Chains A and B, each alone.
Chain A
Amino acid sequence: MNDFRERVDRDLNNPLLRSNFREAMNFLMDKRSSRFPDDEQLQSLRDLGASIRKRALSKLPDLLEQLEARLRDNGIRVHWAESPEQANQIVLDIARHHGAKTVIKGKSMVSEETELNEFLEQEGVTPIESDMGEYILQLAEDKPSHIVMPAIHKTRQEIAHLFEDNLAGCEYTEDVDALILAARKELRKAFHSADIGLTGVNFMVAETGTLVLVENEGNGRMSTTVPNVHIAMTGLEKVIESLDDLPPLLTLLTNSATGQPITTYVNMISSPRQQGEDGPEEVHLILLDNGRTIPYADKEMRQTLQCIRCAACMNHCPVYTRLGGHAYGTTYPGPIGSILSPHLLGLEETKDLPSASTLCGACSEVCPVRIPIPDLLRRLRHEGVRKLKSGEEAVIRGHGAKYTHTEKAAWLSWSKLYSSPALYRTFALSATLFRGLTPSRMKGWTDHRTLPRPAKKSLHSLVKSYRKQNGASL
């Protein structure tokens, strides 16, 4: 994570990547805006989305207990994991119990967060990604660069080569229908024989004990229907209070994410198969904390947990659009990643992320649940450079990770200078008198820009002489 700046340099200097992302983000932004023609309605819907998520978070522990009780009544087993290691171990224990050799996976960002695939492989269980984007990435031994369209950085040609090299009998073709058909055939075999299906969850309804999954491909449905065991894995913040809360959030999610009025499938699971039905015999839910309880304890940062993972903030972010997702070096890139990852990984590991933003506010303008992302970024920047007062408890792991004495001293001098008129005048005078001595190189700044030289006369002295000549009208 610490070579963030190196990765930024690497990706900024990759013109193909930059134009890919620019085009892809333009495409997603256009799709979204075409779905929200009436601004008044959109703003009201966003108010409602934010209210629903805030309401759920205002009673999160109670809702989680209610959810657990309902799921148990329905026959779904609930597991709690504080860390990625615990979550992975739970999956492995279930796999071992069933003697499972393969786990077929629907898309799950939480399993990316816990690096489940690497773990299962080490333990001799084969994970198979079945979301087309994730499947491509698994073949390429690559990582997602976007949370909704994980393989968005891959070109059609790259994928064609990948399939030619990896899928038996697949010849090089850039015909997308043919490529998808080839992958479909391969994955059908995998679905048919997989022992366990593992997916993420978009929403959990406490009232009825229902897991809701949205998708277009059908791989989520396959993973939750065909194998004998289904494991759902998710962050504990995804709970909502009632079924009535679901339709507005679904509308916000799919329209904000891909500009679709709804996804092809909305899959609502409330129990394992009953007598005579198909579907899995066992359904498990793993609720992951992994640092989420930390922002929960701070009213401002708690808002981070309102997120419904639509990715609109990254699609509209000028920094993400130029960098792509990999430069961030975390599971969740873009604005949401920059406010969430510091809690999951600690500020020590992620100290540059809150600064990887221009604070332009595009993210909070589109966020369907009104998370004030720029405010949270500023807060994290502040926590990163602030020293704790004696007796004060840190609100985040790695608090003060960016604190340096030099920076502290620089800002102290700056504030002295600007709060004392005499000092300020002396400084302005010497800056203009000795402007010829301005260094030509200054670390960081002059790598990409020329350094401005102070003007011959300061604004103050210009105004003074203007007033002398023209009276005091200015």
Chain B
Amino acid sequence: MTTGIEARSRILNHLRDGLGDTQPLSQEDDIGCVADVQRNYEERIQQFSHMMAAAKADVHRTTDRLWPELLEQLLREKKISNLLVSLQKEPGKRLAEYEPDFVLRDTGDNPLAIKDELFFGTPAALTTCRGAIAETGSLVIWPDAQEPRAMSLIPPVHFVLLKARDIHSTFADVIRLEGWATGMPTNALLISGPSKTADIARILAYGAHGPRELVVILVDDEAN
């Protein structure tokens, strides 16, 4: 049996031999393109909300002043009495000041320490996001120490705060405008609805492994 290093060089040699007289192609040789759709601010919001609704996510449009109140009302309707949130981030601080009628639980600064709590005692979490994509109705999330990956994955209900001006038209725009190629985080996510499966007889069921509900709180101050 060959060792890893031998396997590596044998595979690469096979590939190099196999190349023959193939010339490396460059991006200029590409043919075809993606249809170019220009969307203005309001169209981006509309398209995003439409796609999210089609994927069975809820989108609530509100303002910066009113969102804590809206969140409180949503939690009340869903009969959720406590919410996991990072109290070190702006939204967590706002909620703490607001003194809502539900319990605020801080993620703290060691996400590994809250694993059991996440699995067995967290009905809902609120996270921020980097932005969103109108075309596909996707949230762009780069988890970090305060808002870890598991927060948007394990609790049954995931609330997300999104600023309307952070909605881009396409994923390609996001990659280009934000310069993703120059530095990717540990984990970057696009989330486009609640978790789902059609693996049993092609019948769609929600809440397969991730959140059963995805609720987007869309903060739009330009409308007012």
| Residues of A near any B CB (own CB < 8 A) | 24, 27, 38, 41, 43-52, 54-55, 58-62, 64-65, 79-82, 85-86, 89-90, 130-133, 136, 149-152, 154-156, 159, 176-177, 179-181, 184, 187-188, 191-192, 207-210, 216-219, 221-222, 225-226, 236, 242-244, 246-248, 250-251, 258, 261-279, 287, 289, 293, 296-299, 302
Look across to chain B and name the residue whose beta carbon is closest to the beta carbon of A216.
B196
Q: Which residue of A lies closest to B17 (CB)?
A: A297
User: Which residues of B are in contact with A by a Cβ distance under 8 Å?
Assistant: 1-2, 4, 7-8, 10-12, 14-20, 22-27, 29-35, 51, 55, 109-112, 115, 119, 135-138, 143-145, 148-150, 153-154, 170-172, 175-176, 180-181, 184-203, 205-211
Least Cβ distance of B31 to chain A in Å?
A: 5
A263 CB, nearest partner CB in chain B, Å: 7
- Report how far A207 CA is from B194 CA in the complex, Å: 31
Assess whether B30 is in contact with A52, with CB atoms less than 8 Å apart.
Answer: yes
Most B CB within 10 A of own CB, among A50, A85, A132, A302 = A132
Interface of A: prevailing SS: helix
The answer to whether B207 touches A184, judged by C-beta atoms less than 8 angstroms apart, is: yes
Q: Are A64 and B15 in contact (CB under 8 A)?
A: yes
Known A-B contacts A159-B200, A293-B18; A184 and B208 likewise in contact (beta carbons under 8 Å):
yes
Among A52, A89, A133, A221: residue with most chain B CB under 10 A = A221
CB–CB A270/B190 < 8 A: no
> Which residues of B have CB within 8 Å of A52?
30
CA–CA, A149 and B204, complex, Å:
13
Query: Of A80, A159, A244, A273, which is within 8 A of B186 by CB?
Result: A273
Other than A226-B115, A261-B51, give 8 A-B pairs with Cβ distance below 8 A: A48-B33, A60-B15, A82-B10, A133-B197, A216-B197, A217-B209, A266-B189, A274-B186
B199 touches A149 (CB 8 A): yes
**Chain A residues near B211 (CB-CB < 8 A):** 218
Pair B210/A264 contact, Cβ less than 8 Å: yes
Report the Cα distance A243→B188, complex, angstroms. Answer: 12
Report B-chain residues with C-beta under 8 Å of the C-beta of A65.
12
Given the complex, which residues of A lie within 8 Å of B198, measured CB to CB? 149, 216, 258
| Interface pairs (18), CB distance under 8 Å | A49-B32, A64-B15, A79-B4, A181-B207, A191-B209, A216-B208, A217-B196, A218-B210, A247-B175, A261-B192, A262-B192, A264-B194, A265-B210, A266-B138, A273-B186, A277-B143, A277-B148, A293-B15
Chain A residues contacting B27 (CB-CB under 8 Å) are 55, 244
Q: A213 to nearest B CB, angstroms?
A: 10
The reply to whether B32 and A44 form a contact with Cβ atoms under 8 Å apart is yes
Q: Are B176 and A244 in contact (CB under 8 A)?
A: yes
Residues of B within 8 A of A187 (CB): 209
Please tell me if the beta carbons of B2 and A270 are within 8 angstroms of each other in the complex: no
Whether the pair A279, B187 counts as a contact (CB closer than 8 A) is yes
Q: Which residues of A contact B135 (CB under 8 A)?
A: 261
User: Do B111 and A277 touch across chains, with their CB atoms under 8 A apart?
Assistant: yes
What's the nearest-Cβ distance from chain A to residue B18, in Å?
A: 3
